Amino acid sequence: MREVAFIKQNKEKWLSFETAIFNNDFKNPDELASQYIQLINDLSYAQTYYPKSKVITYLNQLAAKAFQKIYKTKREDSNRIVAFWKTEVPLIMHQYRKYVYIAFIIFTIFTAIGAFSAANDGEFVRSILGDEYVNMTIENIEAGNPVAVYKSGSNWGSFIGITVNNLRVGIIAFVLGVFGGLGTIYILFKNCIMLGSFQYFFYEKDVFWESVRGIWIHGSMEIFAIVIEAAAGLILGASILFPGTHSRFTSFKEGAKTGVKIVISTFPFTFFAGFLEGFITRYSQEMPKIISVGIILVTLGCISYYYLIYPFVVKKKLDAQLIPIIA
């Protein structure tokens, strides 16, 4: 069968199935599973006979959405809160993983630009962080504690203030994605330039290692969470710019719903980062190096595993669980 005829023959069925998925318009799980089987068959047929066709991408995306719906209808999925972090978010991260990769690429580029600018312009750091903050940091370095700024304020006061600020930055990074993702990119640019120039400043003052031991105790989760929230903003922007087969408003609603779930998933990590910054980072220079480095590696490992590795684990596991349904 020619590709045009294949698409014409199945187009209405696919669109009907897609509409039913978005509106959750299924009489029972068996109906959803039955239509999912037909979709998988069409996808296999397209992959065999039209390997370079764009219809394969469309059917893959539709199958991924249907897959999530099927899993949600399983009776054993009774604890909604646990299922949200254990299954739903990882599946979302797997489906939209390219936006996470893009966010990290943008983060790396902008941070490198900040470091490069600081290396080539002696006044760049002051223009970004301000004279007062730079002068205070220099005094701290001369006093033997480059990250003494984290000792200012009370434990609880720092924890609450820092956490609220980080939540605000993350939410803004997501919400500004409504401007086609440009607002999100701006927030990343602003924060990454600051991070890159700040870290180079410590390198220039020969206290880079000391700064890493302090900043990244909380920074591993804090910065990582902001990048994930930026990915949510890019998803929101893409839903407006590239609605696909949906109306732009329907696509926007779906993008906003997905983005909100991703942002909410980062809250525990942001809270824990705030706790570390308020209660632990202030003692980074006094504690043994093995402890500070250990905290950094453990926190970075945990959040990296959850957002970058665990989604593949969940997807593989659920693929195996789905076999009895489509058999």
Model pLDDT for residues 100-115, shown as the tens digit of each residue: 999 999 999 999 999 9
The single-letter code of the amino acid at 253 is: K
Q: Which residue has the tokens 């440009």?
A: 182
Confidence of residue 24 (pLDDT cuts 50, 70, 90): low
pLDDT at position 96 is 93
Locate 288 and state its tokens. 């043994």
C-alpha–C-alpha distance, residues 283 and 292, integer Å: 9
Cα 317 from Cα 319, distance rounded (Å): 5
Backbone angles phi, psi at 167, to 5 degrees: -65, -40
* Residue that terminates a domain, selected from 21, 50, 73: 73
Q: Which two tokens stand for residue 202?
A: 């410590």
Give the span between the Cα atoms of 82 and 76, in whole angstroms. Answer: 12
Residues 245 and 181 in one domain: yes
Look up the domain containing 143 and give its range. 80-322
Based on the structure, what is the number of domains in the chain?
2
Where would I find the H helices in 121-247? 124-129, 131-142, 155-175, 182-204, 208-241
Question: Please, what is the angle between helix 310-326 and helix 29-49, to 10°?
Answer: 100
Regarding whether 136 and 209 lie in a shared domain, the answer is yes
153 occurs within a structural domain: yes
Tokens 């942002």: give the residue: 263
Contacts of 163 (CB under 8 A, 6+ apart): 270, 271, 273, 274, 275, 278
Residue 216 has a pLDDT of 95
Query: Is residue 37 located within the same domain as residue 111?
Result: no
Cα(285)–Cα(78) distance, integer angstroms: 46
Same domain for 208 and 277, yes or no, is yes
Helix, strand, coil percentages for the chain (3-state, nearest 5): 85, 0, 15
Q: Specify the pLDDT at position 325.
A: 40
Residues 68 and 87 in one domain: no
Q: For residue 327, is it within any domain?
A: no
pLDDT, tens only, 119-133: 999 899 999 989 999
Q: Are residues 35 and 95 in the same domain?
A: no
Q: Do 185 and 165 share a structural domain?
A: yes
The amino acid that residue 109 corresponds to is I
Same domain, 164 and 133: yes
pTM for the whole structure: 0.77
Residue 321 has pLDDT above 60, yes or no: no
Angstrom distances, CA of residue 293 to CA of 126, 210, 211, 220: 29, 11, 12, 11
Q: pLDDT class for 43, splitting at 50, 70, 90?
A: confident
Same structural domain for residues 294 and 204? yes
Which two tokens mark 224?
Answer: 């990582």
120-168, pLDDT tens digit by residue?
Answer: 998 999 999 899 999 999 999 998 888 888 877 788 888 899 999 999 9
Q: Which amino acid is at 148?
A: A
Counts for the chain of helices (H) and strands (E), in that order: 14, 0
pLDDT for residue 326: 40
Mean pLDDT of 58-64: 83
- Kindly state whether residue 281 falls inside one of the protein's structural domains: yes
